[in-house]
Amino acid sequence: MTDAARPPVLQLRVVIEAEDFDRAVAFYRDELGMPELIAYAEGGDDRVSILDAGRATIEIANPTHKRVIDELEAGGSPSQRIRLAFEVTDAAGTTRRLAEAGAAIVAEPVETPWRSLNARLDAPAGMQITVFEELEDSEERALLGGFATDAERD
């Protein structure tokens, strides 16, 4: 790929400060299933673990949409300004497994109007997370009412 054809952003890396490093790594790596790509330690108690999260996207929502998601996904329980969302193959099973690993369930899996099964949890390192399972592919979802890009709205 030539430099002209390379996208300007090659990776999204979310950095989470974790007071209980071992617990956080075990939760995200072992329980959620994100394999460790590499780990570094500079000495003393300096440690970092970089986990593979698959494909990364950034979802930018205005305050109204954030409230809609909070209502649909968690019965109105407000989320943090930044919330991690992980697409999984089994939202109900993953929710149970993560709860057994110490996450607090904020909301059990619920089917959303856009046909995904979403659950909300309070996870280690002070993060609120969503696990979601897509029940339809993007082509099927695009046929539903209410789905359009900003360009299509203009």
pLDDT digits (tens, 9 = 90+) for 22-77: 999 999 999 999 999 999 998 889 999 999 999 999 999 999 999 999 999 999 99
Q: What would the mean pLDDT of 79-97 be, rounded to a whole number?
A: 96
**CATH number of the domain within which 136 lies:** 3.30.720.110
10 Å CB burial of residue 88 (0-12, 13-18, 19+) is buried
What is the distance between the alpha carbons of residues 116 and 87, in angstroms, rounded to a whole number?
10
Range of the domain at 127: 58-153
pLDDT of residue 150: 59
Evaluate if residue 138 carries a pLDDT over 90. Answer: no
Mean pLDDT for 8-25 is 93
Determine, yes or no, domain membership for 132: yes
The count of structural domains within the chain is: 1
**Percent with pLDDT over 70 in the chain:** 90
Reduced to 3 states (helix: H, G, I; strand: E, B; else coil), residue 43 is strand
Does 46 map to a domain?
no
Q: Compute, in degrees rounded to 10, the torsion defined by CA atoms 59, 65, 69, 70.
A: 110
Nearest to 128 by CA among 120, 119, 140: 120
Q: Flag whether 52 is in a domain.
A: no
